[in-house]
């Protein structure tokens, strides 16, 4: 029993059809518990008022936005090295989810930033690097859409994902440098994790778990759809040939 | 390899290639900016490094799809793939030819455009230096984007979407270098970062580009 068994589409379909309802149920309940606990049963933080509640959506979405790209990097590598189709399709399935997570993080950040910093947007290193990540997701998805041959598309997007990962990281730290060079001391980032107290920490943790499970459920679902559409395509081709 | 380089250069200069075109585009961008932001010298001087870099970047972008597209269409790329030099070398040579025909003219012409934007005096050597160090990375990364999109019919717009995010670090350190040079600040750090990015791009990116070309020729 090795993990590579799930590279077989049939095995993957069997296991995922069994796992999907469970993961979905767990995701929904974790998000519901995390958000309700966070929204209604935690005190308002001093200096933040009720805006602190955005934390429970903003932080998980931002974490997922980064980690989904990392997952795409791993699955792209698996595709490029071991040529497992399920892996390439999982990367394709994950990209739009990552894009939406990036958007959620940017929008909730803007909504949070408006009352707190007095501005919707600032060229802060974190905000900027998320915008760049958003562009990388866009480019990746556009390349998938543009190429007709699925194997060529998988190869090229895989290479793009590798190069893009390096440059996304590079941009992240380059932007850090740039901002410090321009506005000294005008740091807008809130490193809240260090001083967040347990009251906020536990619901946040549940919410993060919920977002992770939600992502797993969505990826399973979307990969299943991709596999089915691939099968349909093969059937159509066979019928046309016959 | 030298024959390939000369061939690419000849094609770029003669057959209505992007040789003068990207330079003219650079000029247009530089001329349009004062109309947009107003003619006050102070404002222009402040934004000049950024404008010059963005202009150079866009001018470079303009001619990227020519790197491989024509050779792909008429089949010479297939011949090059079977030639006794590795695809990595072909890609590097083509990127180098692209730099010689777009990057180098931009570097040489940039001081003139700097005058148009009222760039302060001490910034000029830094302007030339930062463009000279940074533009090779633009060509190499551009060749990567061109290699990814070479098989596509409407690849031009997609190419810019793929390549522009990759240009962020180069643009950032390049403009920062000029800015610091103009103010007489410490220039070593951005210069080394810029040079490091360029060197790493030249060393590593051709492998990715060659892989993409091979996939597209399959």
**Token reading at B155:** 């690849």
A16 in contact with B at a CB cutoff of 8 Å?
no
The range of the structural domain enclosing residue B108 comes to 2-217
The range of the structural domain enclosing residue A136 comes to 23-183+193-236
**Does residue A14 form part of some domain?**
no
**Does residue A10 form part of some domain?**
no
Q: How many domains does chain A have?
A: 1
**Does residue A173 form part of some domain?**
yes
**Does residue A29 form part of some domain?**
yes
**Does residue A109 form part of some domain?**
yes
Which residues in chain B are contacts of A156 at CB distance < 8 A?
A: 148, 212, 215-216
SS3 B152: coil
Chosen from A146, A166, A169, A171 to mutate, greatest number of chain B CBs within 10 A: A146
User: How does pLDDT run across B44-71, given as a tens digit for each residue?
Assistant: 888 888 889 999 999 888 888 888 888 8
**Does residue A62 form part of some domain?**
yes
Q: What is the pLDDT of residue A180?
A: 55
**Does residue A214 form part of some domain?**
yes
Cβ <8 Å between A174 and B205: no
Contacts of B114 (CB under 8 A, 6+ apart): B48, B52, B123, B124, B127
Residue A185 pLDDT grade (very low, low, confident, very high; cuts 50, 70, 90) = very low
Rounded Cα distance, A168 and A163, in Å:
9
User: Which region among A222-236, B10-24, B39-53, B75-89 has the lowest average model confidence (pLDDT)?
Assistant: B10-24
Closest-approach residue (CA) in chain B for A80: B211
Q: How many domains does chain B have?
A: 1
- When CB atoms are compared, the residue of A132, A152, A171 closest to B215 is A152
**Does residue A161 form part of some domain?**
yes
User: How does pLDDT run across A66-121, given as a tens digit for each residue?
Assistant: 999 999 999 999 999 988 889 999 999 999 999 999 999 999 988 887 887 777 78
- When CB atoms are compared, the residue of B165, B176, B193 closest to A167 is B165
pTM value surpassing 0.90: no
Structural contact between residues B186 and B121, judged by C-beta atoms closer than 8 angstroms:
no
What is the CATH number for A210? Answer: 1.20.120
ipTM of the complex: 0.88
């Amino acid at each position: 029993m090795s993990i590579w068994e799930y590279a077989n589409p049939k095995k993957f379909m069997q296991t995922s059809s069994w796992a999907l309802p469970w993961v979905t149920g767990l995701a929904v309940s974790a998000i519901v518990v995390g958000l309700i606990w966070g929204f209604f049963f935690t005190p308002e933080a001093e200096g933040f008022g009720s805006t602190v509640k955005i934390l429970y959506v903003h932080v998980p979405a931002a974490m997922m936005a980064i980690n989904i790209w990392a997952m795409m990097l791993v699955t792209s590598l698996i595709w490029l090295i071991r040529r497992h189709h399920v892996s390439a399709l999982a990367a394709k399935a994950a990209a739009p989810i990552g894009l939406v997570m990036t958007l959620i993080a940017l929008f909730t950040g803007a909504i949070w930033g408006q009352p707190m910093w007095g501005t919707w947007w600032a060229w802060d290193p974190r905000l900027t690097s998320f915008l760049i990540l958003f562009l990388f997701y866009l480019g990746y998805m556009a390349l998938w859409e543009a190429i007709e041959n699925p194997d060529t598309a998988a190869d090229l997007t895989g290479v793009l994902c590798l190069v893009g990962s390096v440059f996304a990281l590079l941009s992240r730290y380059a932007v850090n440098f740039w901002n410090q060079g321009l506005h000294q001391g005008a740091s807008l980032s809130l490193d809240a994790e260090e001083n967040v107290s347990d009251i906020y920490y536990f619901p946040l943790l549940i919410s993060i778990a919920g977002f992770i499970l939600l992502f797993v459920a969505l990826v399973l679902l979307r990969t299943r759809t991709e596999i089915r559409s691939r099968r349909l395509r093969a059937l159509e081709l066979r019928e046309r040939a016959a | 390899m030298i024959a390939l380089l000369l061939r690419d250069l000849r094609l770029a200069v003669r057959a209505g290639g992007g040789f003068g075109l990207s330079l003219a585009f650079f000029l247009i961008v530089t001329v349009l900016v004062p109309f947009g932001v107003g003619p006050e010298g102070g404002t222009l001087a402040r934004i000049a490094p950024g404008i010059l870099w963005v202009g150079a970047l866009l001018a470079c972008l303009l001619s990227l799809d020519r790197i491989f597209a024509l050779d792909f269409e008429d089949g010479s790329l297939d011949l090059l793939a079977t030639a006794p030099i590795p695809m990595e070398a072909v890609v590097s040579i083509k990127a180098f030819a692209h730099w010689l025909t777009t990057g180098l003219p931009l570097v040489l012409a940039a001081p003139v455009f700097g005058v148009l934007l009222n760039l302060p005096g001490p910034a000029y050597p830094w302007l030339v230096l930062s463009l000279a160090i940074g533009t090779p990375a633009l060509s190499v990364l551009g060749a990567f984007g061109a290699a990814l999109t070479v098989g596509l019919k409407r690849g031009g717009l997609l190419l810019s979407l793929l390549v522009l995010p990759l240009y962020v670090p180069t643009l950032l350190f390049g403009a920062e270098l000029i800015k610091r040079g103009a103010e007489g600040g410490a220039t070593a750090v951005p210069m080394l970062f810029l040079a490091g990015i360029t060197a790493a791009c030249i060393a590593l990116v051709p492998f990715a580009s060659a892989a993409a070309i091979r996939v597209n020729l399959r």
